[in-house]
Amino acid sequence: MPTNLITKDNTIFALMSFEGPDKYSMVGGLGIRMTEMSRVLAEHGYKSHLFFVGDPYAECNTEMLDGHLRLHRWCQWISSECPGGVYDGEEKKIAEWNRSVPDYIVNNIVAPAAQKGFLTVILGEDWHTAESIVLLDKLLREKHLRDHCVIFWNVNNEYGLNGIDIKEVEARCTITTVSKFMVRRLKELHGVDSIAIPNGIPRRIIGSPDPGKSHLIKRCFDGIILQKVARYDLDKGWLAAVEATAILKKRGLRPHLLMRGGTQHHRTEVICKILDLDLRYVTIRLRFPTFENIIEAFQSYSHFDIIEMDFFIPEDFLMLLYGSADVVLANSIYEPFGIVGLEVMAKGGIGVVGNTGEDYALHNKNAIKVKSDSAIELAETIYEVMSDGDLKQKIRKSGFKTANVFTWDRALSLLIYRVEKVLSECNLPRAGVKKHSDGEMLLEKKHY
């Protein structure tokens, strides 16, 4: 097993993703993934660069964590004309990204690092970066720098893959993904091999919620608290969630669903379903969502079955909700990994997850796991757990133990191991690669 090839003193990381840590760039799991992955690399002492489509009015480049992490906000001149967020003006941004990011990385990161004998590990995310990965590989070969790099391309989900030449990407780098489920899907649908490097959660969120604040939330409602935060997307299981709320109400559990979606069109369908089910529904809008303001709103509308929180929920309050709710609904029909389930476990909560990419979840062991998008199945599994005090405690305790395993520290260890394995298989210990007399690289494996 390869060991100690990769250290903070000989390796630089360059991460590429449309989403990132800015509010402009943070849409979902990908933004969280890149924010936390870049942070954990820097916290472990690795010099890291994160390229993303950032806030057009923030600094172009920002250094963080004692200079170990450098944020590169790309396409800002386009973003200034596209206020709708990272995917507004998507085609223009992709064209600019492909034109300029590979050239910048090669000339400003890889080349200087190679002169010092450093390795550069490049990781591109999802279909937006696929062409730039191909262009990077070509440019690195032209400049005889390819033996100073290991390139990964990570696939978080299947969206957008039909529009790219995934076989060409496979020929130029190592393809990774976030779960065994996605490894199978890539093989079945696209005929490509990949390796799973799971996501994680930051250690800072692990721990029981503040008991005093948790108690205040629970006091607002006279029944069970259900909670769901996700994009208004058909795959996120919204219709099943609201219908299950109605079923549980008929069963006498007095459920209160606290939900937060987005601006997607599916919201209209979700609200219509709520009204068709004759559930009492209200939308709360807060300009300044402090803990006190949110609690006051909960108290004012505690008699409603469904409360939509139409405001940005601060991370600390969201984590508090995860630990305070009786059940958190992360019941996606399609979820390649599912970070929310782990976040709920980290706060000692009970999460409901689907049956796709949540490899870490075991039904009635550390989570509730549903096999379909059936509202009846969802309601019945929740009712079963809520009726068994011992089972509830068992799930909370086991989930907390699981969360302590699936951290970003562990994910980083797996990533480093995979880089070292690629170096070993390619006979690339640092820059000591075998070469032909004409200077071209002689590789023992094409993926590196």
What does the H/E/C string look like for the chain? CCCCCCCCCCEEEEEECCCCCCCCCCCCHHHHHHHHHHHHHHHCCCEEEEEEECCCCCCCEEEECCCCEEEEEECHHHHCCCCCCCCCCHHHHHHHHHHHHHHHHHHHHHHHHHHCCCEEEEEEECHHHHHHHHHHHHHHHHCCCHHHEEEEEEECCCCCHHHCCHHHHHHHCEEEECCHHHHHHHHHHHCCCCEECCCCECHHHCCCCCHHHHHHHHHCCCCCEEEEECCCCHHHCHHHHHHHHHHHHHCCCCCEEEEECCCCCHHHHHHHHHHHCCCCEEEECCCCCCHHHHHHHHHHCCCCCEEEECCCCCHHHHHHHHHHCCEEEECCCCCCCCHHHHHHHHCCCCEEECCCCCCCCCECCCEEECCCCCHHHHHHHHHHHHCCHHHHHHHHHHHHHHHHHCEHHHHHHHHHHHHHHHHHHCCCCCCCCCECCCCCECCCCCCC
Please, are residues 443 and 157 in contact by the beta-carbon 8 Å criterion? no
Quick one: what percent of the chain has pLDDT higher than 70? 94
Task: State residue 335's pLDDT score.
Answer: 87
More confidently predicted of 19 and 448: 19
Please, are residues 268 and 238 in contact by the beta-carbon 8 Å criterion? no
Task: State residue 257's pLDDT score.
Answer: 98
Q: Is the pLDDT of residue 441 over 70?
A: no
d(CA 128, CA 90): 9
> Which residue's entry shows tokens 């606290």?
258
Task: State residue 437's pLDDT score.
Answer: 31
Average pLDDT over residues 3-14: 87
Q: pLDDT, tens digit, for every residue of 287-322?
A: 999 999 999 999 999 999 999 999 989 989 999 999
Task: State residue 429's pLDDT score.
Answer: 45
Q: pLDDT, tens digit, for every residue of 22-73?
A: 999 998 889 999 999 999 999 999 999 999 999 999 999 999 999 999 999 9
Quick one: what percent of the chain has pLDDT higher than 90? 87
d(CA 434, CA 65): 37
Q: pLDDT, tens digit, for every residue of 179-202?
A: 999 999 999 999 999 999 999 999
4-13, 191-200, 230-239, 322-331, range with the lowest pLDDT:
4-13
Q: Is the pLDDT of residue 368 over 80?
A: yes
Task: State residue 28's pLDDT score.
Answer: 81
Please, are residues 262 and 313 in contact by the beta-carbon 8 Å criterion? no
Q: Could you tell me the pTM of the whole model? A: 0.86
Task: State residue 446's pLDDT score.
Answer: 43
Residue 337's pLDDT band, with cuts at 50, 70 and 90, is confident
Mean pLDDT of the chain: 92
Average pLDDT over residues 78-101: 96
d(CA 318, CA 320): 5
> Which residue's entry shows tokens 């721990």?
207
Residue 127's pLDDT band, with cuts at 50, 70 and 90, is very high
Q: Is the pLDDT of residue 147 over 90?
A: yes
Task: State residue 424's pLDDT score.
Answer: 84
Give phi and psi for 61, each to the nearest 5: -125, 135
Task: State residue 428's pLDDT score.
Answer: 55
Please, are residues 409 and 203 in contact by the beta-carbon 8 Å criterion? yes
Average pLDDT over residues 389-406: 96
Q: pLDDT, tens digit, for every residue of 238-277?
A: 999 999 999 999 999 999 999 999 888 999 999 999 999 9
Task: State residue 276's pLDDT score.
Answer: 97
Residue 4's pLDDT band, with cuts at 50, 70 and 90, is low
Residue 427's pLDDT band, with cuts at 50, 70 and 90, is low
More confidently predicted of 359 and 103: 103
Task: State residue 263's pLDDT score.
Answer: 84
Task: State residue 440's pLDDT score.
Answer: 37
Q: Is the pLDDT of residue 447 over 90?
A: no
